[in-house]
């Protein structure tokens, strides 16, 4: 990808030109998102340097959500943060300004703002290493639904630009606490139980019954999230640092999931990601996770249902595993 872009509009144009070449392959698509977002970050840094000078300390810009997990579709919203080395008002002002510039730049290039404000322009997600450590410890101590949700969001953090070691040291805080208090995994499990049901009691695919997506299914909520949530918890149990669901599955021990089952789940999840690219909406971020069930060939409906059932089974097995195997 070319360097030296001076305008976000140029990057948006490049996105529109090149997206069609990567839109059918999950890995190529996510590599393209990474390259594009990296260009946005470098352009934002350049713009902020002109007005504010050099960054006052080393820092990392990291992705969370589907970007952190390398699981973005054609369109994606923003989930990101910043961690910087030096604790000072000067550093905070500088990096919040940079966070806002990055958020606005990403929006101009085609990434929707995060509804929940999980962005580096928000001081909750833009802190020094020490402040981040304190915040993670507070979330762990708090144990409220929201605090645990924030921890789960942070666990998917993946550095896009900057020092890898900052995020590694912060994740170590969470892993250490889980080792000391394994019941935290149960709290996390409880936080992810509100899965949207995708298959009815008679084995039918449950579609939206009203609104603009009537007759469609939200693939992310009903098919992908059971895999994502289950595998994240199993990875936490084993102190696996990987962030993508596929690489987490690959890194789990045979004691947690046997090798043949791991390979099977990897293939099912990979196929679901590809399925979303093939049959999901193309026009905008809202549409991209929805699939029109009646438009699917009979064979594809069956395959989708089978893969959804596999995800639900994995999630239920994980639930049982933590309910039996983890101390209170």
Tokens of 267: 């293939």
Tokens of 108: 């101009």
CA-to-CA distance for 60 and 6, rounded, in angstroms? 22
CA-to-CA distance for 125 and 237, rounded, in angstroms? 25
Q: Indicate if the alpha-carbon torsion angle 110, 272, 262, 257 is positive or negative.
A: positive
Give the H/E segment covering residue 58. Answer: none
Strand bridging mode 59-63 / 80-84: antiparallel
What φ, ψ does residue 135 adopt, rounded to 5°?
A: -65, -45
Residue linked to tokens 């507070």:
138
CA-to-CA distance for 47 and 57, rounded, in angstroms? 17
CA-to-CA distance for 123 and 43, rounded, in angstroms? 21
pLDDT at 1: 42
The torsion of the CA quartet 278, 210, 297, 201, rounded to 10 degrees, works out to 110
CA-to-CA distance for 230 and 152, rounded, in angstroms? 12
pLDDT at 201: 86
Beta bridge partners of residue 81, listed in sequence order: 62
pLDDT at 138: 96
User: Is 292 exposed, middle or buried, given 0-12, 13-18 or 19+ CB atoms closer than 10 A?
Assistant: middle
CA-to-CA distance for 97 and 7, rounded, in angstroms? 18
User: Cα dist. 64→70, 89, 248 in Å?
Assistant: 9, 25, 15
The mean pLDDT values, 10 residues at a time, for the chain of 328 residues are 72 94 94 97 97 97 97 95 97 98 97 96 98 97 92 97 96 95 90 85 88 92 95 95 96 92 95 94 85 92 94 92 65
User: Cα dist. 23→18, 92, 228, 266, 324 in Å?
Assistant: 9, 38, 22, 21, 42
User: Is 289 exposed, middle or buried, given 0-12, 13-18 or 19+ CB atoms closer than 10 A?
Assistant: buried
CA-to-CA distance for 139 and 135, rounded, in angstroms? 6
Tokens of 92: 């905070």
pLDDT at 4: 56
Under 8 Å between Cβ of 85 and 166: yes
8-180 to CATH, choices 3.40.50.300, 3.30.460.10, 3.10.129.10, 3.40.50.720: 3.30.460.10
pLDDT at 325: 63
């Amino acid at each position: 990808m070319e360097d030296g872009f001076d305008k976000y509009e140029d990057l948006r144009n490049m996105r529109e030109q090149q997206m069609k070449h990567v839109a059918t392959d999950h890995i190529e698509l996510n590599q393209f998102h990474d390259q594009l977002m990296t260009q946005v970050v470098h352009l934002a840094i350049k713009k902020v340097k002109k007005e504010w000078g050099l960054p006052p300390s080393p820092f990392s810009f990291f992705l969370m959500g589907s970007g952190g997990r390398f699981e973005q579709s054609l369109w994606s919203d923003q989930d990101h943060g910043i961690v910087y080395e030096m604790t000072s008002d000067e550093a905070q002002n500088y990096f919040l300004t940079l966070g806002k510039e990055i958020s606005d730049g990403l929006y101009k290039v085609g990434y929707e703002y995060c509804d929940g404000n999980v962005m580096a322009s928000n001081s909750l997600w833009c802190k020094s290493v020490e402040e981040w450590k304190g915040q993670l410890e507070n979330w762990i101590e708090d144990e409220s639904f929201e605090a645990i949700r924030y921890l789960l969001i942070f666990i998917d953090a993946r550095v896009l630009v900057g020092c890898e070691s900052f995020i590694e040291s912060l994740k170590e805080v969470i892993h250490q606490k889980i080792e000391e208090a394994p019941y935290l995994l149960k709290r996390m499990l409880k936080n992810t139980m509100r899965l949207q049901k995708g298959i009815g009691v008679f084995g039918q695919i449950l579609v939206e019954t009203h609104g603009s997506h009537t007759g469609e299914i939200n693939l992310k909520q009903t098919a992908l999230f059971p895999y994502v949530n289950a595998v994240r918890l199993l990875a936490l149990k084993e102190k696996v640092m990987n962030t993508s669901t596929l690489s987490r599955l690959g890194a789990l021990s045979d004691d947690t999931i046997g090798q043949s089952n791991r390979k099977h789940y990897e293939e099912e999840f990979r196929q679901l990601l590809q399925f979303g690219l093939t049959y999901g909406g193309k026009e905008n971020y809202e549409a991209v996770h929805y699939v029109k069930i009646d438009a699917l060939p009979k064979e594809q409906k069956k395959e989708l249902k089978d893969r959804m059932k596999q995800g639900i089974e994995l999630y239920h097995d994980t639930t049982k595993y933590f309910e039996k195997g983890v101390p209170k």
